[in-house]
Amino acid sequence: MPSTERKHVYFASDFHLGVPTYEKSLVREKNIVAWLDSIKDSALEIFLVGDIFDFWFEYKQAIPKGFVRLQGKIAELTDAGIPVHVFTGNHDMWIFDYLPKELGFQLHRDPVKRTFGNQTFLIGHGDGLGPGDKGYKFLKRVFQSKLSQWVFARLHPNFGIWLANYSSRSSRASTGNDDAKYLGKENEWLFVYCNEVLEKEHFDHFIFGHRHLPLHLKLNDSADYINLGDWIQYNTFAEFDGEQLSLKRWVNGRAEAYTSEFN
C-alpha cells in the first residue's frame, strides 16, 4: 500500500504518443516518464485523463508497437501500490483489457466522481460533453459500437494500424499544430458543461483534458474548472496537495507553477 506520507494527487492528459514522428514522440515519452518518476514518492493517486496514445487498438494477439517506457513506468508505479487511473479519450477509446491487466491500472470510459480530503472532483477526458459538436458525438457512438470494433479487428494489424495512424496524423490534435484558441467562457463547451452539472450537483473541482489548452477558470465562489492542456506544446498537469489544486508545467526536468492568461 502507498506510504501514509503520500498525499498528492496528480492529473495529466493528451500525451498523443506516436505522433508526429517516432523521434519526436520518443522525446516526449521520455519527458513524461521523467515527470512520473519525479512524483512517485509523493503520489497518492495518478490520473491520466485520456489520449495517452494517438492511436491504440488491441487485436486478440497483437498491439501497436512502441511506448514501452511509459508502459514500464506505469507498471512500476502500480507495482509499488500507487493507484493509476487511465481514461480513454477520443484517440485511444479502443483500449480494452490487455493494458489494464498487464500494467495494473484502473480503466475509465466515463467521468468519475472522487473525494480527496473534504473536496470533491469530477474527472474525465471531456470529449462529447457540453453543447454542440453533434457530428463528433455521432461518430463517437459509432466507434464505441461493438460492430465497429469487430469490423476493424478483421483488418490485418499492419494495414489497420497504418490506416488509423494515417488518419490521426491529419488532425490538429495529433500533429501538434495547436490552433486552439480561448473562446471565452460562454463558448468554452466544457466550461458550459461544468455549469450545467453545478445546477444539479456540487463539485469543488472539475478536471478535464481533450481541449489541448491549459485553463484554470472559476465557475463560482466555491468551484473551479481545470483543463489539463497537453504534452505536445505545454507539458502541463494539475496537482492537488490535500488542500490546494494548482496547474503546473514540467520544464527542464522540474515542475513550476503555470499561470494561463485566461485565468
Q: What is the pLDDT of residue 174?
A: 44
Does residue 111 have a cis peptide bond before it, meaning omega lies within 30 degrees of 0? no
For the structural domain made of 8-257, what CATH number should be given?
3.60.21.10
Parallel, antiparallel, or unpaired for β 8-12 and 112-116? unpaired
Please list the pLDDT of the chain residue by residue as tens digits (263 residues). Answer: 444 477 999 999 999 999 888 999 999 999 999 999 999 999 999 999 989 998 777 887 777 888 999 999 999 999 999 999 999 988 887 788 899 999 999 999 999 999 999 999 999 998 878 776 665 665 666 667 777 766 766 777 777 676 666 666 665 444 444 446 888 888 888 999 999 999 999 999 999 999 899 999 999 999 999 999 999 999 999 999 999 999 999 999 999 999 877 76
Global pTM exceeds 0.75: yes
Q: How many CB atoms lie within 10 A of CB 199?
A: 7
